[in-house]
Amino acid sequence: MHGRPRKALKQEDEAASAAKTEKLRSVQAQFLANHHNHMLLLLPSTFFSLSLSLSLDLFKNCANLVGCRYSKEALDLSAKLLEVNPECYTAWNYRKLAVQHFLSNSDSDPHSIFDDELKLVENALRKNFKSYGAWHHRKWVLNKGHSSIDNEMRLLNGFQKMDPRNFHAWNYRRFVAELMKRSDEDELKYTEEVIATNFSNYSAWHNRSVLLSNLLKRKAEGYFPKEKVLEEEFEHVHNAIFTDPDDQSGWFYHLWLIEQTVKIDAPLLVSSWPSHGSNITLIGDNDLRGCGLSLLNGTLSNPGTLPIILYFNQAVEGINSSTVAIKSELLKEELIWKPLSMNNSNTAQFWVVYLNLGNFELQPSKTYSVEINIGHSKGIISSNGNHFDDPSQISCKVFVQTASSEPTEGQGGKRTTWKDTNFQKIDHFQESDSILPADQNHHIPTTSNWCTEEIGEEITKVRDLLFEYDCKIGKLTLARLLSALDSLSFQYDGRKSNTEEVLQLYTDLMKLDPTHYLYYKDEHSLISLKRITSTRDSLLPYCHYYKDATETITGYVCLRLRNLSLSRMGSIENLLWVQMLDLSHNELQSVEGLEAMQLLSCLNLSHNKFGSFTALEPVRLLKSLKVLNISYNELGSHSIDTTRYLCSSPVSHAEEFAWDRFEILTDSINATKFWEAFLIFGSLTLTELNITGNAVADENFRSFLVKVLPTLKWLDDEELS
């Protein structure tokens, strides 16, 4: 437990453990056998996964059907079992049903019934202070309102003296404090007392952050302005981290203070496509079919629609025609904004709407204006309940030009290839190419001098500490502080960036602390991408024109971020303009955030570490995607999909599955294990797909793909008949 190495049990300890196990099995067997003929018994793990109300309903129904009885013998047996093993959820749920049964009798004494339950829970907690079931049962009893809560704080104080860091007790303390209507100020004083006794108490520091968040949010007396409170808290936590730099409890609280110092509560629009002042050129044939789009001389693969993308600094809801007004001759029908979310939520950081150009008769050589007003009407709210209060306007022009060439690759022409010989570096950007948020006019509020000064002072203190005492958590904190300082200088106020030092710190940490290598690697990747995409000059070396097989430069500009050892994607707000993206030869395991890049038509993810189709979930939202290369990954190599725990929202929880279509498409082939692939590819209109070099890529899977993707013309570099 908590990193302590296990020691081999002595012979007498093994005998005692075996006797204890045998006793537990005996009592549990008696309990289950006693009710085998009276109710439906579910395994404890099953009860844990079900909601409490559902499991209670199941027991109630069974009790009503077979006339279940709650005898004293049965109750005593369940109590005996729980005092031996408090983790038996079935027994706790049985007792809840028993309590409800007894309360239904008119002559019952609720106080006596619930007091018995509280005594049982207390005995169970003395056996296992960290029993989820016991703490949940005690909450359930108190929520019924028949028990006195006067004794709860005394009980908690006793338990917390035994183990001051137990987070179950701290969670329960917050619950009891709310019932008792104890003030946040009083509870904050208690955390101060506990921390003064032993500052190596992560749970106490965490409780302090919860309480202070409440006090700061409602601007309680003595806790406003925020700056004064945070200064005092920084001084408070310094006592802990400078006394024992290797103890992480205070450092984690210090991180929370950094976040409070730099965070902006209200949602902000940080990026959009089109950007303000941009000029978009639609290129079509004489009949104006097969349009393209000029952005860095790029082409739009989906000719019928023109996407408008809004990227906020945090998840928001309320994006609709009332809160975002669009004026243009191109607008002929009501627009429906869609959240680009992996969990079917109405709250998202990225939002998109499509102007339908297919039914509009575009005039050659004519310029159309598009004006987008965001937030001039109230209604945009963050997931934290903060309102968007920074109205913005985006204006751009759309010019229609007659096409003079054949369709390029990725648009129904020849096969797309990703060899170096097919790319030519771009010498410079045009002044009219507005590709970064820095080029746009979104109103980012000026950071107060206090924030910058406070972060600067903390950097100095941590540097001084590291000069005398080298510790991993100190290096990590310095990296976070330097990154925070860079984030405060939004529009390059002349201050030198700390990017190189931050990257070196994460490189050092990967060597010093291999246990957390993947975390440091992800942070290193995010900082690297921020460095690459932050300015035009830094981005230029990675931008290339794409040349087709005839050595003709096509309309595509490809952003080549290959072979950079990236393990995580970031800085998506700077990449909304990208239509052709090469992320090959990296170490990516997921592409979370890529769903915002709605202009993407060609994507190369080959030679990465994708272990399942779940990791590719954002790809299914890329409406314009035509070319996808996922060759030489690890798809099909793992029997267990570990990506479900890496990604924020597994595919299986995010989408209704079209079983009817799946069964029709897979009727003649054995494809039952391909349902996740169906969820990814079923909504796409790919013309090219490469899956070579994956364990899943056999003939059976290829046959499945051909059926799921009727638009497919090239599969694994072979043209389909």
pLDDT for residue 410 is more than 60: no
Residue at a domain's end among 187, 219, 251: 219
pLDDT band at 398 (very low <50, low <70, confident <90, very high): confident
Q: In what order do the strands lie in the sheet with 553-560?
A: 423-425, 543-547, 553-560, 580-582, 602-604, 627-629, 688-690, 714-715, 718-719
Per-residue pLDDT tens for 77-111? 888 889 888 988 888 998 998 899 888 887 889 99
Residue at a domain's end among 499, 532, 565: 532
Per-residue pLDDT tens for 180-216? 999 999 999 999 999 999 999 999 999 999 999 999 9
Q: How many domains does the chain have?
A: 4
548 and 462 within one domain: no
3-state DSSP assignment of residue 415: coil
Per-residue pLDDT tens for 616-641? 999 999 999 999 999 999 998 876 65
**Distance (Å) of CA 339 to CA 45, 61, 84, 320, 394:** 35, 41, 50, 10, 19
- Please tell me the least confidently modeled range out of 23-37, 233-247, 641-655: 641-655
563 and 514 within one domain: no
Taking the C-alpha atoms of residue 136 and residue 418, their distance in angstroms, rounded to an integer, is: 57
Handedness of CA 54, 60, 62, 68 (dihedral sign): positive
Which comes out higher in pLDDT, residue 667 or 587? 587
527 and 555 within one domain: no
Q: What is the pLDDT of residue 83?
A: 87
Q: Which of 207-211, 274-278, 326-330, 543-547 has the highest mean pLDDT?
A: 207-211
Q: What is the largest CA-CA distance in the chain?
A: 93
Q: What is the pLDDT of residue 90?
A: 85
Per-residue pLDDT tens for 422-432? 999 888 776 55
Q: What is the pLDDT of residue 60?
A: 47
pLDDT band at 278 (very low <50, low <70, confident <90, very high): confident
Specify the CATH number for the domain of residue 331: 2.60.40.1220
Which comes out higher in pLDDT, residue 341 or 721? 341
Q: Which of 44-48, 114-118, 519-523 has the highest mean pLDDT?
A: 519-523
pLDDT band at 601 (very low <50, low <70, confident <90, very high): very high
pLDDT for residue 683 is more than 90: no
pLDDT for residue 496 is more than 70: yes
518 and 638 within one domain: no
503 and 601 within one domain: no
Query: Which structural domain range is residue 682 located in?
Result: 542-719
Q: What is the pLDDT of residue 64?
A: 43
pLDDT for residue 15 is more than 90: no
Which comes out higher in pLDDT, residue 538 or 32? 538
653 and 625 within one domain: yes
Q: What is the pLDDT of residue 42?
A: 38
pLDDT for residue 375 is more than 50: yes
pLDDT band at 652 (very low <50, low <70, confident <90, very high): very low
Residue 235, in any domain of the structure: no
Residues sharing a CB contact under 8 Å with residue 607, sequence separation 6 or more, in sequence order: 584, 585, 586, 631, 632, 633
Yes or no: say if 360 and 305 are a contact pair by the CB < 8 Å rule.
no
pLDDT band at 650 (very low <50, low <70, confident <90, very high): very low
pLDDT for residue 515 is more than 80: yes
pLDDT for residue 370 is more than 90: yes
pLDDT band at 116 (very low <50, low <70, confident <90, very high): very high
Q: What is the pLDDT of residue 456?
A: 95
612 and 547 within one domain: yes
Q: What is the pLDDT of residue 411?
A: 47
Mean of per-residue pLDDT scores for the chain: 83
Specify the CATH number for the domain of residue 582: 3.80.10.10
Residue at a domain's end among 204, 219, 234: 219
